[in-house]
Amino acid sequence: MARTLSVGYPSGMSDRALKERAARRRPWARDSKGAPRRAPPGPFQPGFWRSPLRGPWLTSFLGTMLGVLVLIVAATGLISQSSYQPQLQHNSPFGSSGVIGPLLALPAWSPSWLYAVTQGLHITVGLMAIPLLLAKLWSVFPRLFAWPPARSPAAIVERASLLLLVGGSVFEFVTGVLNIQVFYPWHFNFVRAHYYGAWVFIAAFAAHVLVKLPVVARAYRERGVLKPLRDDLVHTRLEPRDPDGLVALSPARPTLSRRGLMALVGGASLTLVAVNVGESVGGSLRRLALLAPRGRVFGTGPNDFQVNKTAATAGVVAAASDPAWRLRVTGVRTLTLSRRALMSELPQRSHTITLGCVEGWSTTQHWTGVRLADLAALVGAPAGASVLVQSLQNGGGYSQLTLAPAQLNDPRTLLALCVNGADLSLDHGYPARIIAPAIPGVHCLKWVKSLTFASV
Out of 90, 309, 326, 328, the residue judged to bind other proteins by CB under 8 A = 309
Nearer Cβ to other proteins (224/267) = 267
Out of 143, 151, 259, 339, the residue judged to bind other proteins by CB under 8 A = 151
Does 366 bind other proteins (CB under 8 A)? Our answer is no
Nearer Cβ to other proteins (9/190) = 190
Q: Which stretch binds other proteins (CB under 8 A): 2-10, 159-167, 239-247, 340-348?
A: 159-167
Can you count the helices (H) and strands (E) in the chain? 13, 10
Out of 11, 14, 89, 313, the residue judged to bind other proteins by CB under 8 A = 313
> How do beta strands 362-371 and 348-356 pair?
antiparallel
Q: How far apart are CA 418 and CA 239, in angstroms?
A: 64
3-state secondary structure of 290: coil
Give residues with Cβ within 8 angstroms of 76, minimum separation 6.
118, 119, 121, 122, 125
Pick out residues in 368-407 that bind other proteins (CB under 8 A): none
Out of 81, 112, 119, 175, the residue judged to bind other proteins by CB under 8 A = 175
Out of 192, 218, 259, 326, the residue judged to bind other proteins by CB under 8 A = 192
Nearer Cβ to other proteins (70/307) = 307
Nearer Cβ to other proteins (39/203) = 203
Does 130 bind other proteins (CB under 8 A)? Our answer is yes
Q: Which stretch binds other proteins (CB under 8 A): 16-24, 153-161, 329-337, 399-407?
A: 153-161
Q: How far apart are CA 285 and CA 219, in angstroms?
A: 40
- H or E stretch covering 116: helix 114-139
Cβ of 8: how many Cβ atoms within 10 Å?
Answer: 10
Give the residue ranges of DSSP H helices in 224-371.
258-274, 278-281, 311-314, 317-321, 339-344
Does 206 bind other proteins (CB under 8 A)? Our answer is yes
CB of 366 to other proteins, least distance (A): 22
Out of 106, 272, 327, 436, the residue judged to bind other proteins by CB under 8 A = 272
Nearer Cβ to other proteins (165/381) = 165
* Nearest alpha carbon to residue 430 among 452, 445, 411: 445
CB of 93 to other proteins, least distance (A): 10
Contacts with other proteins, 240-259, as mask; x by CB under 8 A = ---------------xx---
DSSP state of 36: B
CB of 12 to other proteins, least distance (A): 23
Q: How far apart are CA 417 and CA 246, in angstroms?
A: 62
Does 280 bind other proteins (CB under 8 A)? Our answer is no
Output phi, psi for 206, to 5 deg.
-60, -45
Exposure b/e, 20-36, CB count within 10 A at least 16 = b: eeeeeebeebeeeeeee
3-state secondary structure of 30: strand
Q: Which stretch binds other proteins (CB under 8 A): 32-40, 105-113, 130-138, 404-412?
A: 130-138
Out of 211, 217, 226, 377, the residue judged to bind other proteins by CB under 8 A = 211
Nearer Cβ to other proteins (168/228) = 168
CB of 424 to other proteins, least distance (A): 15
Look up residue 283 and give its amino acid: G
Q: How far apart are CA 213 and CA 221, in angstroms?
A: 12
Q: How far apart are CA 156 and CA 283, in angstroms?
A: 52
Exposure b/e, 48-73, CB count within 10 A at least 16 = b: ebebbbbbbbbbbbbbbbbbebbebb
Does 218 bind other proteins (CB under 8 A)? Our answer is no
Out of 2, 264, 422, 456, the residue judged to bind other proteins by CB under 8 A = 264
Nearer Cβ to other proteins (247/375) = 247
